[in-house]
Amino acid sequence: MLSAFICMTCGTQYPPSQEPPTSCDICEDERQFVNPRGQTWTSLEEIRKFHRAVISRYEVGLYGIGATPELAIGERALLVCSSLGNVLWDCLALLDDAITDFIRAMGGLSAIAISHPHFYTTMAEWSRVFGDVPIYLHNSNKSWVKRSDAPIRFWDKERISLNDEISLIRVGGHFEGSTVLHWSGTADRKGALLVGDSIYVVRDRRWVTFMRS
């Protein structure tokens, strides 16, 4: 029986196969790490047995979707709600009934956009569940995609618009194609920048830092 194996360390899902891959390309890259106990694999079915969804509201129209206990490298997705179509920003390996029911109650998804390869996880499963919605990835990160059967739309400009409220901007740094999402439709109309792992606010909050690893 074929199984789409998932790396337990980073959460990346590989194409269905009889046996798990011998290694995980994401973890062997210098920006990640191989578990000191060695390479181990799981599946979406196993993850659902031991993890549950955690959904948090950050502000009107912006929700965090994570897992407890923490899964892989602690990935968290963000649901950006827009009257022009909801967008899932980034992704996590867990996808269960609680998550799908919540997103459908919020109006479903029009697109998935992912900042960089550490969040690709089970993106093919997410797209399929929500009607084969397109997944937007920067073309510079194409070599890191493991599930090429997903409905991916590679883009190669510096900026594209998903709708009149949501844009993707390539900033590079962490990965060549690392991307941030700008959402102009916040309740206060000041907008928000969702940055993945590319940009961090430092402790005194007057400065930001840019990460490669």
What is the separation, in whole angstroms, between the first and last Cα of the chain? Answer: 37
pLDDT grade, residue 37 (50/70/90)?
A: confident
Give the global pTM.
Answer: 0.94
Closest CA to 147 of 1, 22, 8, 21: 21
User: Which tens digit of pLDDT belongs to each residue from 88-138?
Assistant: 999 999 999 999 999 999 999 999 999 999 999 999 999 999 999 999 999
CA 195/CA 147 separation, integer angstroms: 23
pLDDT grade, residue 174 (50/70/90)?
A: very high
Closest CA to 121 of 79, 77, 91, 88: 91
For residues 162-181, average pLDDT: 96
Average model confidence (pLDDT) for the chain? 95
- The CATH number of the structural domain formed by 6-210 is 3.60.15
How many CB atoms are located within 10 Å of the residue 111 CB?
21
The amino acid that residue 2 corresponds to is L
